[in-house]
Structure 1
Amino acid sequence: MNIDDLKNTWNTDDSFEETPEISTEQRKRMHLPLEKIRKNMRMEFWSTVGIFVFAFGLIAVAPGPFKFKFYITILIASMVFVTFFFFSQFFKLYKNMSDTMMKTSESLQDLLHQFNLNKQYYLSFYLSFVPFLVCEIIIVLEFIPRPVPLSNLKIASILIGSLVIVMPLLFLIGKYWFKAFYGKYIKQIEDLLLELKG
């Protein structure tokens, strides 16, 4: 096969057809849910920063033994580190949503894939706090003075009971929070993509 035949084959091949473009009206419809998602992401970021600032401030002014305050501070600093990792992933999504290149259904499909990936990150984010909560419970059990010390059985019961309650609760809270703050807007974008494909 010579060069001219290759060129002709390339030009007549329709497998590389352009994906449907998003019209101006559809872009306007897409703008509202995307802006709501971005607004909720900003709100969540700043409220998380506020919670950590409040936690560090509370530890600084609260009375208590040095070891207790030091261990809690280290735990909260570790939580900040884990939170920073997850928020760096969310920030990539936030940045992609503001990208002006969202003109085809393919780019919209890619965005929905990122939403689904971030849903998994979101649930992982909530579950990643389980070890920190366990450590905090242990520190509280060890350092809070009591008139009668807790028995080994009672300490084990409190820890196991806390895990049994906290793990499913964090998972459910994460699912509910994602659905309430992002799910309905993602559904609107999915509907728009189906409309484009139909």
Structure 2
Amino acid sequence: MNIDDLKNTWNDDVSAATPEISIEQTNKINLPLEKIRKNMRMEFWSTVGILLFGFAVVWIPVPEAPFKFKFYLTVLLFSMVIVISFFFSKFFKLYNNISNPMMKTFDSLKDLMYQFDLNKQYYLSFMLSFVPFLVCEMIIVIEFIPRPIPLSETKIAVILISSLAIGLFGLFLLGKYWYRVFYGKYVQQIENLLVELKKK
């Protein structure tokens, strides 16, 4: 068998292994992808708005708020910006990949599903990464908010431990729910198409 025959045989095998996606199936893919892109944009700008609102609230001129209180909250917010920037850089790569989709083969669709699965893990990690910030915020509030009767050490420990436990559990559930509502159902539509292609 000469080289040309070998190339033709190889190309035939690859074509058989990676069936083409029809125009109708491409349209089915584009609809959920557009919904995902729209939700990603909404989430990005909402996060930017919340952070700007947070900085504005911290530095509203309140005479009784000590400088240390404002400074610690500002450092906390800047730390959140760094963490959020890391995760959004990952999400932005996915956004770029699905903004100009070249969904022509079964393999490209499988690769897209792998990216969605990876970003789901990033998403849950993103939500859970806010737990330390929640605990730090509780510490700052406990330390700086004046009270008629100071909290005992036991109460402080209970507040912090319960904040950690509730925060972990609550943010994990919120992350799963949020992902399912804004992304999961659209990813499922693409996965159903992948299963449909497998049967062919």
The bucket for the TM-score relative to the shorter chain is over 0.9
Deviation at 1:166, TM superposition (A): 1.2
Normalising to structure 2: TM-score of the pair?
0.92
Deviation at 1:100, TM superposition (A): 3.8
Deviation at 1:105, TM superposition (A): 1.5
Distance in 2 (alpha carbons) for counterparts of 1:71 and 1:17: 60
| One-letter code aligned to 1:146 | R
| One-letter code aligned to 1:79 | M
Give RMSD over aligned pairs: 1.4
CA deviations 1:143-196 (Å, max 9, x no partner) are 111111111111111111111211101000000000011111001001111111
Report the counterpart of residue 57 of structure 1 in structure 2.
56
Distance in 1 (alpha carbons) for counterparts of 2:61 and 2:22: 58
Report the counterpart of residue 148 of structure 2 in structure 1.
147
Deviation at 1:17, TM superposition (A): 3.2
Distance in 2 (alpha carbons) for counterparts of 1:9 and 1:187: 39
Deviation at 1:21, TM superposition (A): 1.1
Distance in 2 (alpha carbons) for counterparts of 1:146 and 1:116: 47
Q: Which shifted more, 5-14 or 171-180? A: 5-14
Q: Which shifted more, 91-100 or 176-185? A: 91-100
Distance in 2 (alpha carbons) for counterparts of 1:74 and 1:188: 42
Count of residue pairs brought into register by the alignment = 195
Q: Which shifted more, 12-21 or 106-115? A: 12-21
Partner SS, residue 168 of structure 2: helix
Deviation at 1:11, TM superposition (A): 3.5
| One-letter code aligned to 1:183 | G
Report the counterpart of residue 184 of structure 2 in structure 1.
183
CA deviations 1:48-84 (Å, max 9, x no partner) are 0000010001111052100000000000110011001
Q: Residues 62 and 123 of structure 1: is their aligned pair in 2 closer, same or farther, counting only changes over 3 Å?
A: farther
Kept after mapping to 1: 8 A contact 2:134/2:163 = no
Deviation at 1:15, TM superposition (A): 4.0
| One-letter code aligned to 2:15 | E
Report the counterpart of residue 12 of structure 1 in structure 2.
9
State the percentage of identical aligned residues: 65
Distance in 2 (alpha carbons) for counterparts of 1:170 and 1:50: 20
Report the counterpart of residue 134 of structure 1 in structure 2.
135
CA deviations 1:2-33 (Å, max 9, x no partner) are xx645544433454335111111111111111
Question: After the TM superposition, which residues 14-93 of structure 1 pair with which residues of structure 2 at under 5 Å, given as runs?
Answer: 15-17=13-15, 19-63=18-62, 64-93=65-94
Distance in 2 (alpha carbons) for counterparts of 1:105 and 1:5: 29
Distance in 2 (alpha carbons) for counterparts of 1:90 and 1:134: 26
Distance in 2 (alpha carbons) for counterparts of 1:32 and 1:149: 57
Moved over 6 A (4+): none
Q: Residues 148 and 100 of structure 1: is their aligned pair in 2 closer, same or farther, counting only changes over 3 Å?
A: closer
| One-letter code aligned to 1:21 | E
Gaps of at least 5 residues in structure 2 are none
Normalising to structure 1: TM-score of the pair?
0.93
